[in-house]
Amino acid sequence: MIQIQENVALAKYTTLGVGGDADYLAVVESRDEVLEALDYGYRQKIKSVVLGGGSNVLVSDKGFAGLVIINKATQHAQKGEILYAESGASLTKVASQTLDNGYLGFEFGIGIPGTIGGAVAGNVGTKIGNVSDILVSAEVWHDGKIENLPGDSFDFDYRYSSIKGKPEYVVLSAKFRLQEGDTHAAKEQVRTEITRRAGSYKGKTAGSYFKNPEGDKSAAELIDSLGLKGYRIGGAEVSTNHANVFRNIENATAKDFFELEHYVVRKVQDKFGVLLVPEVIKIGDFK
């Protein structure tokens, strides 16, 4: 039986360390408890949202007027080339284990601070690969019903799926197809990638803030070319290590990050005519 807490601060559940209170909060430890919490919210007609690792999100200073479900459903198992994982399992942990088991395909997930559910919804990936490359199917809760959806039904695109940002769709578990092979080269590639990213995400960050736009230059290159590294609004800063990362450096608020986002977007659009689109998902009221 899950426990429903009331008026719980959300900042400690996010990697940015900001956010007001949730009206209700439940910490769940299994797929069945995720379902129990979702069904509770559905029956009570309470808006619900699920948080995994708390990265890639910006929670409003006003908190969330509903039920926040902290997903710690971490069971996963591999049988041959098929990997099964519950949605709260650590992306880095699962990916590392598959590589150690001698299987390729999921190594792009090593070093990414997120969970399986968020990875599926956001088509997480790196230059090495993406979730869409290996997803066989996902078990999804949708408005009180459970659906098993094939991987090709998510309309995947760059850092996008048809369920991203839609709290009425919740990934419960997923199956992936890997391939057996020589993992020595992959491990070296992963080490190189992790070393490259190591300094980028120091401190309290949400990961990469904007999607990379079409064209020759990445979001980081566009922002950096405007000299915006180190630019601050309140306690929120454009990281001095990586221009597409925002950091909480001094008791920042969600409003600080929201205003910094809009400032950067406006500056890039005015200079280059490019509209940067946030990769970070907003939770709660920002009006």
User: Would you name the residues annotated as active-site residues?
Assistant: 159, 208, 279
- Rounded to 5 degrees, φ, ψ at 7 are 55, 65
159: left (phi over 0), alpha (psi -120 to 50) or beta: left
Closest CA to 230 of 246, 219, 211: 246
Angle (CA) 204-241-214 rounded to 5° is 100
Q: Say if strands 204-208 and 179-180 run parallel, antiparallel, or are unpaired.
A: unpaired
Which tokens sit at 207?
A: 């990961």
d(CA 116, CA 72): 11
As a whole number of angstroms, the distance between CA 199 and CA 125 comes to: 18
Do the strands 245-248 and 204-208 form a parallel or antiparallel pair, or are they unpaired? antiparallel
SS3 for 119?
A: helix
| Three-state SS at 222 | helix
Angle formed at CA 66 by CA 62 and CA 69, multiple of 5 degrees: 105
